[in-house]
Amino acid sequence: MPWPPSPQRPDTVRSGLIARRKRICGLRRRNGVLDTVPMRFGVVPSSVRRDVLNWHGGAGQAWLDELPRTVWSLKRAWAFRIDGPPYGGGSHSYVVPVLLEDGTPAVLKVIYRDEENRAEPTALRQYAGDGAVHLYDYDPETGAMLLERAVPGNRLKSTRFFGHKTPAAAWRRIGIATGLYRRLWRPYEPEAGYPEPPAATGMLDAWRAEYADATPELIERVGDDRLRDALALCDALADPPELGIGNRDTHLGNIVSAEREPWLVIDPKPYLAERAFDGGYFLFMQQLYGPHSGGELLRAVAEGLGADADRVRAWALLRFTDHLAETDDERDIEAASKAMRELEDA
């Protein structure tokens, strides 16, 4: 059965959309010559510019150079006006508040497409607003999305709960988050025009190749025993008991307060994966940065997600191994190694 369409935007916005997309957007013709049209365009946040350039080099610079024209083209096609400065804190997307023609608040998100995020519109389309922001529209050419604006939009990570001290508040955040991620995991149904999410088993294949032929530097940083354990975990997870739309980027910063539901997920990184996959990164983040750890945390995450605890633990240990393999900060390595040891002993 096909997925239901995205919630309808006003007729004034949707009517003629296909025709408008066929026009040359962001340009105007003056005496037979195409000329650019000035637009209100916020400065790209420094974190986005830095990460795009660090990770993607010349291709990232080309994306940044083209970004003003891309936004202007989308502005013409989707009939919105920019409603404030871009949001900060992202890594490789330009996100800015906009207003639709009827005054409805929304968000424009233009992503630098990569393996992790290319299927974000697919996941949001299939979530259909159930625990996540609505996808109003999607441009396959650029990967840009027009999204519901969550108001007030406070991140669960930094929300304080009246009458809750730090440990109790942390448990409440964990319960809210795992409940949402449990709702969002669902079977994947292909749909024309929307990218298929990559398979989480591809991550296992990449780790297996890297750790089986580890460099001396990698062995020194991670440890011989942990690399052998990681290879065994890759084999143990290779045949998942179920497949659906998982999320590679499950953490408290990607859940924000809203009005139609108390909390909504933003910025999913969908992969075809088992439920325990979602718990791997979430448990890794909580074990490393949260006030709770060990077996009690593992059980809470697994039960909240409805996932097998041993497989959640295995995915989390692999995320720890990957983290140790990628970081070169000594203090970070020490903290991650300690947190990983607590989970190994759980």
Q: Domain map of the chain by residue range?
A: 19-148, 156-344
Q: What is the CATH number of domain 156-344?
A: 3.90.1200.10
Alpha helices by DSSP H, listed for 79-215, are: 120-127, 166-184, 201-212
Residues of the chain with pLDDT under 50: 1-6, 8, 10-39
pLDDT, tens only, 136-156:
999 999 999 999 999 999 999
* 263: Cα separation from own chain's centroid: 16
Report the predicted TM-score, pTM, of the whole model to 2 decimal places. 0.87
Q: What is the pLDDT of residue 22?
A: 36
Architecture of domain 19-148: 2-Layer Sandwich (3.30)
pLDDT of residue 187: 98
Strand partners, 193: none
- Dist. CA 77–CA 25, nearest whole Å: 7
Return the pLDDT at 217: 95
d(CA 203, CA 230): 12
CA distance 207 to 115: 15
Query: % helix / strand / coil in the chain, to the nearest 5?
Result: 50, 15, 35
- Which residue spans within the chain are E strands per DSSP? 27-30, 33-36, 80-82, 93-100, 105-111, 135-139, 144-148, 244-247, 255-257, 263-265, 270-273
Residue whose tokens read 């390595």: 333
**β-bridge mates for residue 93, sequence order:** 111
Helix segments in 238-289, DSSP class H: 275-289
